[in-house]
Amino acid sequence: MQKKLKIRLLPIFIFMAVLTLSIKINNVFDMYNNQTKQALTISTSKALAEEQLNKETAELTDILQGGSKNPAAKTDNPNNAFTQSEIMILQELADRREILDLRAKEIDKRAIQLKVAEEEIDKKLRQLKDYEQKLQKLVNEYSQKEQSNIDSLVKLYASMKPKDAARIFNNMDMDITVTLLKGMKPSASSAILSQMESEKAQAVTAQLIGNNI
């Protein structure tokens, strides 16, 4: 009887062992499946987060670079991460940047115009300097020629008799008379003055004294 009981209990033990092993194996598969699903969920969430971040970055770059000029087009997208006020601020910044770019271009344009004007002024100044040098050269040449003529007249009148020279000087312009007498030696000019009319001689003498003071 005991032997038969042992024989009948053996299948039961075997069945229980197989059942326990099956339960453990199912638990292992469940754990593996849960971990796999969790990993897939994390990977999917990470991918979605990265996609959303890239999308937001692209939208921000597009707005800052003046891409979209219609804020309403951005707000129609339910997945948009920017609020209406943020988009308005970004749009205002983009508009200000555009204004600053225009001002920078205008400043560059004026700088070029100013540089051209300065170059033109420098060119005119160089031309004026050349004209001044040429004019000064002509004045010097004229002065030398005039002085040469004066020297010739001084020699001419100094070689004449004082009485004849005095008669001519009486009717000569005061400035020319003073210039010619001033170029003569004192002995020649005094001899001519002594033969000139008294009023003219006094006026010439006053001019000579005044020039020598």
What is the per-residue pLDDT for 75? 47
169 within a domain of the structure (yes/no)? yes
| 116 assigned to some structural domain | no
Q: Which domain holds residue 179?
A: 160-213
**Would residue 193 count as lying in a domain?**
yes
CA-CA distances (angstroms) from residue 80 to 75, 86, 89? Answer: 7, 11, 16
Q: What share of the chain is helix, strand, coil (3-state, %, to 5)?
A: 90, 0, 10
d(CA 193, CA 195): 5
- Provide the pLDDT for residue 161: 93
The per-residue pLDDT for 85 is 82
Residues 6+ positions from 170 with CB-CB distance below 8 Å: 196, 197, 200
Question: Does this model's pTM top 0.75?
Answer: no
Q: Would 43 be classed as within a structural domain?
A: no
- pLDDT value, residue 48: 62
Q: Give pLDDT, residue 88.
A: 84
Contact 85, 105 (CB under 8 A): no
- 57-97 pLDDT, tens per residue? 566 566 555 544 444 444 454 455 578 888 888 888 888 88
Q: Which residues of the chain have pLDDT under 70?
A: 1-81, 211-213
Q: How many domains does the chain have?
A: 1
In a domain, 18, yes or no: no
Closest CA to 183 of 139, 210, 149: 149
Domain-embedded: residue 166: yes
Residue 213 covered by a domain: yes
